Each structure stands twice: as structure tokens, then as C-alpha cells.
Amino acid sequence: MTRSVVRLDGATLFELLTVASLFLVALFGTLIAYQAYRGYRRNDARSMLYLAVGLLLLTLCPFVVNVAVTTLLKPEQIVIAFLENLSRLFGLVAITYSLYGQH
């Protein structure tokens, strides 16, 4: 069973850059999701709530899932990729619902 797990103390430059860029994705995504959530609270617009949830599932969640699952369970990489994409899929579904749903 091959697994390409990066330990932060013995990582190559590109592995670190990848982790850093994913972290930045999570950071910016969370920032925009936060503004969307404030928009929901201030304007009572439910579509902004779904947008906020969608953005979190799209950006923050894959990062958290990756770190958590890799640290705790150490599964195969394909499993993590699947979980990440599942989270992104739900995120896009939430944003689609935010745009087209009746609420």
C-alpha cells in the first residue's frame, strides 16, 4: 500500500507550498464566507446563508478534512481525495441552491 503522506518536519519545498496554498484557500474562503454570513444576518437573506455554507464546504472543509482524516486515520490518499471532493461537491450544491432555490 503506497501512501504519500507529508510529515511537516520532513517535507519538500513543493509539499510545503501545496499545504500553504491550501491553507490560504481555506483562509480566503472563510473570509468571504464570513462576509456572506454577515450579509445573511444583516439583511435576513437566506441565500447568503447557503452561499456561506457552500463557500466553507468548498474551501475550509477539504483542508480540515484532509488534516483531520490524515492525522487520525491515515487512510489511502484516494480516500482523502474522495472526501475532499465530496465536500466540494456539497459546497457547489449549496451555492447552486443559493442561486436557484426557492427560499
Minimum gap (Å) between residue 58 Cβ and other proteins = 6
Region 27-66 residues binding other proteins, contact defined as CB under 8 A? 28-29, 31-32, 35-36, 38-45, 47-48, 51, 54-55, 58-59, 62, 66
Helices 13-43 and 61-72, packing angle to 10 deg = 130
Query: Which residue number, 1 or 7, has a Cβ lying nearer to other proteins?
Result: 7
Min separation Cβ 1 and other proteins, Å: 13
Distances (CA, A) of 78 to 26, 40, 62, 96: 21, 36, 13, 26
Q: Give the closest residue to 24 by CA, choosing from 68, 71, 59.
A: 59
Tell me if 40 sits within 8 A of 53, measured CB to CB: no
Which of 62, 50, 63, 75 is CA-nearest to residue 20?
63
- Binding-site ranges for other proteins (CB under 8 A): 3-8, 15, 18-19, 21-22, 25, 28-29, 31-32, 35-36, 38-45, 47-48, 51, 54-55, 58-59, 62, 66-67, 70-71, 74, 77, 80-81, 84, 88, 92, 95, 98-100
